Structure formats: structure tokens, C-alpha cells
Amino acid sequence: MDWIDLRSDTVTRPTPAMREAMARAEVGDDVYGEDPTVNALQHRLAVKLGFEDALFVPSGTQANLIALMAHCQRGDEYLVGMDAHTYKFEGGGAAVLGSIQPQPIPNAGDGSLPLATVEAAIKPLDPHFARSRLLCLENTWHGRPLTLDYLRDARALCDRRGLRLHLDGARLFNAAVALQIPARDIAQFFDSVSVCFSKGLGAPVGSVLCGSRALIDEARRWRKVCGGGWRQAGMLAAACLHALDHHIERLAEDHTRAARLAAGLRGLPAIKLVGQHTNMVFIEVASAHLPAFRVHMEAAGVKLSIGYLPNIRMVTHLDIDDAAVERALTALRSFAP
């Protein structure tokens, strides 16, 4: 069956042109810092986002983990959204591997962490408490871009209270494209930013962490400790460089297709449209109808993400064209429990 996979934008496969770029890549041993393609990617993203340095790593989870470990010492604390990826979907790595205590803050509906709540959760300097060291935000959050005004206020709070500020920017470029601003305008507020290339940008593997030279030196050490020191990774970096050249502006197409998908769902009796943000559409199906819904969509060749979030999620990406949106809509519209 020719599946339409809307579960996540992680499912994209490298295009023929991307594979060609990978095959042509010049490589070296990256643990020695000698892979020219990795170095080019790191330099290019650092400059693009306005940082001194950057580090190419296997996954977004590792980028966030080593960022937290570079910012925080054992017994420090990071403040983070209760529904944030770093807190909820990364196996508790900061606590497990970094001895960093999370202080979860309930996310507001727009993905922000209300700053009064954040401030109230900062611990006094006292041996009773973990040392509050870092605030971690996520952008986009379930597809929602955070506003620049909010980011400015979050930065001001961190400066006033002596916190560092990290961005889980797995989908930073989706936010930038949606707000029609350079990604750097978002990144400017942060001490470090992680970006995933294996989501909407379409690379098979890889994330990049950006920060100051000192922070990246520390993160490079932790990457090695976490088993992420890789060798001829230039073939993977070449895919990311290709994505920077060819797959950023086109994210707007994913957003348009998600909007079309959402628009096509209005007024259906058994499927409730909950919301659409950038490349994500959220729907609700009554739990009594859920088993039948699964079977119906499977039979139509459409995969969606059921069970990880309160709502069912559909994500558009590089491998979803207009015809796929129409086929998915036909399947969704014909669901009659």
C-alpha cells in the first residue's frame, strides 16, 4: 500500500537530490574536528542564527540533553513546560543522565510558560533548594509559534533573575516561516538553540546545537560522554546543508496544506477539528468511536498519531503533496461510525 503518513514530520525520506549531495560529501573524522562538511554545517547555522559556534549531533534529544548538561551542574534545576519535549518525551534524560532537576510549569494554551508562574518557581539561594539555573522554552510548541514579545519578556526575566535561556527549536524554521521573519530574530533571545534537521527539513538524521564558544566546547565534551562522538558524519551534514538551501522556504507549503486539511474537516459529525498551527492539525474523535476510526483510516492507507497527545495529530511534511491531502480528506470525510 502507498501509505500517507501523517504521524509526524520525522517520517520524511531524503529526496534524490539530497541523496546525491550526501554521496558527494567530503568527509573526515569529526571527533578530531576534521570533517569539512560537518564544520561547514556548524559554521553556517551558527552564523545564520547569530551564535559563535555550533555542534552537529545525532538527534534533537541529544542536542537538548547536552545543552542542559552544559548549562547546569549536578543539583541545578531547569524550569520547563509540563508538556515540553525535553521534560516529557525524552525519557527524563536531564534527571537520569544530568542530575538536573526539572521544575515543570504548566504550559498556557499558546505554548508559553506564564512568566509570573516561572518567576514564582525560581528558588531562593538556600541549601534546601536546587539551584534554579535555566529556563527552557519550545518553539514551535505543538505547531504554535511563540510571539517575539513573549520571548523578549522571557529574556528580560532571565536577565533580571540570573537564569540562562535555552530553546528547543526542533521546529524553529516552521516558526520563522510562519511569522515571516529570519530565524535569527527568534534565536537572538536565547543562550542556546537546538534545531532538528530530521523533521520538516527532510534530512534523514541530525540536529544542531548553537551557542557561545564556551558552551559548545562543554557540549562537545558531553556529546562524547553520551556516545555521540561520530566520525565521517559529513554525509549526514551534507543532507542538512542541502536542507538549508532547499527545504526552508518550502515549509510554507506544509503550512498551507495543513490549513487545507483543517478547512476540509469543518462540519463533520464524527470528527471535531480542535486546531491547526503551522504544519499540524489536531482533531478529536469520541473515544467510543476510536477503534473504528483507527481501522477505517488504516484501511484507507492513512497513518495518524493516536494516543501520544490528548488529541489526534496529523502533520504535513515534505512527503505529503496536494494529492495526499485530498486522499486523506476523502478518508476522513467518509468516516461514518
Contact status, residue 270 vs residue 336, Cβ threshold 8 Å: yes
Cell 476522513 found at: 332
Q: Which is nearer to ligand PLP, 62 or 101 (CB)?
A: 62
The upper half-sphere exposure of residue 144, i.e. CA atoms within 13 Å in the direction of its Cβ, equals: 16
Q: Please state the closest distance from residue 331 (CB atom) to ligand PLP, in A.
A: 25
Q: Give the closest residue to 154 by CA, choosing from 135, 171, 178.
A: 135
Name the residue number minimizing CB distance to ligand PLP.
60
Please name the residue ranges forming H helices in the chain: 16-24, 36-49, 60-71, 85-88, 93-98, 115-121, 148-161, 172-179, 183-187, 213-225, 234-246, 251-263, 290-299, 322-333
Cα 53 from Cα 231, distance rounded (Å): 19
Task: Quote the CA–CA distance of 151 and 109 in Å, as a whole number.
Answer: 16
Angle between helices 213-225 and 60-71 (to 10 degrees): 120
Q: How far is the CB of 121 from ligand PLP (least distance, A)?
A: 21
Residues engaged in binding ligand PLP (CB under 6 A)? 59-61, 64, 85, 138, 168, 170, 196, 198, 207
Cα distance between residue 196 and residue 4, in whole Å: 22
Q: How far is the CB of 141 from ligand PLP (least distance, A)?
A: 7
If the CB atoms of residues 60 and 228 are measured against ligand PLP, the closer one turns out to be: 60
- Can you read off the three cell numbers belonging to residue 316? 504535513
Residue 35, SS3 per DSSP: coil
The smaller minimum CB distance to ligand PLP, of residues 202 and 264, is found at 202
SS (H, E, C) 62-124: HHHHHHHHHHCCCCEEEEEECCCHHHHCCCCHHHHHHCCEEEEECCCCCCCCCHHHHHHHCCC
Nearer to ligand PLP, 42 or 61 (CB): 61
Segment holding 132, helix H or strand E: strand 131-138
Cell of 90: 525524552
Q: Which is nearer to ligand PLP, 214 or 309 (CB)?
A: 309
| Nearer of residues 138 and 293 to ligand PLP, judged by Cβ | 138
Which C-beta is closer to ligand PLP: that of 132 or that of 174? 174
Shortest Å, Cβ 162 to ligand PLP: 26
Min dist. Cβ of residue 199 to ligand PLP (A): 6
Closest to ligand PLP by CB, 198 or 311: 198
